[in-house]
Amino acid sequence: MKAIIVTAFGGPETMKYTDVEVPRITSNQVLIRVVSTSVNFADIKARYGKKDSGTLPFVPGLDAAGIVESVGSDVRHLKAGQRVIAFPKAGSYSEFVAADEKLTFALPDGIDFDTAAACPVVSFLSYKLLADIARLEQGETVLVHAAAGGVGTTLIQLAKILGAGTVIGTVGSESKVAMAVEAGADHVICYEKDDFAAKVNDITNGEGANVILDSISGWLSEKSVHCLAPYGRLVHFGNSSGQAGTFRTQDLHASCRSVLGFSLGTTRSKRPGMLRDTAEKVLPYLADGSLKIKIGGRFPLKDAADAHEWVESRRSTGKVLLDVWK
């Protein structure tokens, strides 16, 4: 089968389109013919060798949408021919993937393959962040950093679906404002141009945001505390800036504010069963059209290096797809 492999840690030029063996499945796995997969920022970090990269060479990719080709002897809830999404353990930039049954989810009829390929990481992550980690309450104000990206646009929509009163987005350039507005943000702030914390406080009449969702880290995380409401929750779930943020305990206890962390990757690895409930909650929103995943670009699998360059340039918005079988 054809696949993309990373041959050395470094830039997109280390990615090669080549022939590899079809994976063998264990008794509790399914073999999936991949229709499409998506590019996540974690794929770029893995290519550079920055996090959980394993040994070289490796197939990148976190999620896939496709059709079950065959099932292991202990698989009980899936069968050949079913349309599914999955989180494969050994990458997804390939024509076939093996995935554990507990990390493979049947697709409702209302979800097409484009949405399916774009949704697994962004929709599962966004639901967990809002419903389970931040414990969003009706009418609360939510601040979403990196609001024009695949996760950001999904968070904006889900925040509204789950009852947020006001959703504020931040973006790194004016060119990305329109995407966040289209996703449903009530206000969008360009943090490279304006003091986002001051603007959030102005919008909320000095109260601040009840929930802040941060995948950037560094100075942006630190400044977020300046616009976090009493009893507010700042949820940190990534560090795309590559910088660490520092918090002071005195900024938390008296104001009853919390700084929380979450990783979908850790959850897939250590507590995969938690995602079954997430799938049952979020897939219906996708099936009935109330949640729409923003697709900002697509490339054939063989051009995955170009897709990485596009995402890494920070010019991309929404999700970027890799078409495998069409």
**pLDDT averaged per 10 residues, the chain (length 326):** 96 96 96 96 88 79 97 96 96 97 95 94 96 98 94 95 98 92 96 94 98 93 95 92 80 92 94 94 95 90 95 78 88
Nearest to 46 by CA among 1, 76, 15, 78: 15
pTM above threshold 0.75: yes
Name the CATH architecture for the domain at 121-265.
Answer: 3-Layer(aba) Sandwich (3.40)
Per-residue pLDDT at 247: 85
Do the beta carbons of residue 247 and residue 225 sit within 8 Å? yes
30 bridge partner residues: 71, 99
Residue 228 tokens read as 């976090």
For the 2-120+271-323 domain, the top CATH level (class) is alpha beta
Q: State how far the Cα of 52 lies from the Cα of 240, in Å rounded to an integer.
A: 15
135 bridge partner residues: none
Per-residue pLDDT at 51: 56
Q: Give phi and psi for 228, each to the nearest 5.
A: -95, 125
**What are the extents of the domains in the chain?**
2-120+271-323, 121-265
Do the beta carbons of residue 322 and residue 181 sit within 8 Å? no
